[in-house]
């Protein structure tokens, strides 16, 4: 949610975000149905200390899916995957995939199943670590890694370590 807040605050348009796992928000979007206006408090529910608090968004349900797809990219091609019941939330200049299950985004098919053509957006924000590079690097002008917080952050200093022998790398560099 921190990255979504920053993109909205900066007024950046032509953005597709995939995917925010939030079963409550996904259920609300699916219940509302395609074309309906929906208000969701998105993300920030696992541990707001690290991920930020939920962000209230009002948008339109642009697409819905059962979340099941067959991978067509370069990683695990031909295998079945499941993001769970999900929908595309359309905002002014931004489309966000809201899924039931936490699933890393590492191929274009995960956007296409919601009607988003990755080659046609200005910015693709993928919640993933590295696997996404195989399918997205060929279509991107540039890759920018963003530490938007969360429990998978590489900023280890933000975590409240309690039972850790010190010094230890990378917390203590000297």
pLDDT digits 0-9 by tens, 49-70: 767 789 999 999 999 999 999 9
Lowest model confidence (mean pLDDT) among 24-38, 41-55, 61-75, 96-110: 41-55
Give the pLDDT of residue 108. 95
Q: Is the pTM of this model over 0.75?
A: yes
| Calpha distance 22→11 (Å, rounded) | 24
Amino acid 127: pLDDT: 85
CA–CA separation, 129 vs 104, rounded Å? 8
Q: How confident is the model at residue 7 (pLDDT cuts 50, 70, 90)?
A: very high
Question: How far is CA 143 from each of CA 8, 106, 153, rounded to the nearest angstrom?
Answer: 20, 13, 18
Confidence at residue 160, expressed as pLDDT on a 0 to 100 scale: 85
Residue 96: how many CB atoms within 10 A of its CB?
28
């Amino acid at each position: 949610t921190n990255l979504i807040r920053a993109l909205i605050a900066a007024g950046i348009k032509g953005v597709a975000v995939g995917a925010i796992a939030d079963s409550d928000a996904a259920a609300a979007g699916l219940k509302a149905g395609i074309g309906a206006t929906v208000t969701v408090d998105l993300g920030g529910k696992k541990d707001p200390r690290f991920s930020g608090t939920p962000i209230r968004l009002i948008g339109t349900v642009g697409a819905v899916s059962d979340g099941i797809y067959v991978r067509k990219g370069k990683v695990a091609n031909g295998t079945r995957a499941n993001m769970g019941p999900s929908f595309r939330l359309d905002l002014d200049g931004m489309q966000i995939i809201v899924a039931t299950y936490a699933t890393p985004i590492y191929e274009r098919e995960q956007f296409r199943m919601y009607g988003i053509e990755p080659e046609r957006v200005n910015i693709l924000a993928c919640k993933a670590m590295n696997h996404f590079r195989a399918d997205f690097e060929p279509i991107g002008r540039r890759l920018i890694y963003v530490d938007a917080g969360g429990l998978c952050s590489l900023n280890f200093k933000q975590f409240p370590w309690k039972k850790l022998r010190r010094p230890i790398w990378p917390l203590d560099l000297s």
